């Protein structure tokens, strides 16, 4: 579980400097809304976050927007 939570920002973000920020912003949302998709890979989790866009935190939404998602 932890490994995947750290991998998610790499799908969304291009730079590792921002990866931790993205992880911090979205980790709770992934755990809350997308736990079932974590074993399916990063793209499945990203799709889940986008599907729950209206329910995720403002911080996670901002990270997705800033990176073209």
Cα angle at 53 between 52 and 54, to 5 degrees? 95
What CA–CA distance (Å, rounded) separates 52 from 34? 9
Greater confidence, 21 or 11? 21
What tens digit of pLDDT does each residue of 34-63 get?
999 999 988 999 999 999 999 999 999 999
Q: What percent of the chain has pLDDT over 70?
A: 67
| Number of C-beta neighbours around residue 13 at 10 A | 20
**What is the average pLDDT across 3-25?**
55
């Amino acid at each position: 579980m932890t490994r995947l939570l750290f991998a998610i920002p790499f799908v969304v973000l291009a730079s590792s400097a921002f990866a931790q920020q993205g992880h911090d912003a979205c980790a709770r949302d992934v755990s809350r809304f997308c736990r079932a998709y974590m074993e399916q890979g990063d793209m499945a989790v990203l799709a889940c976050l986008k599907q729950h866009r209206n329910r995720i935190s403002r911080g996670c939404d901002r990270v997705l927007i800033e990176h073209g998602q």
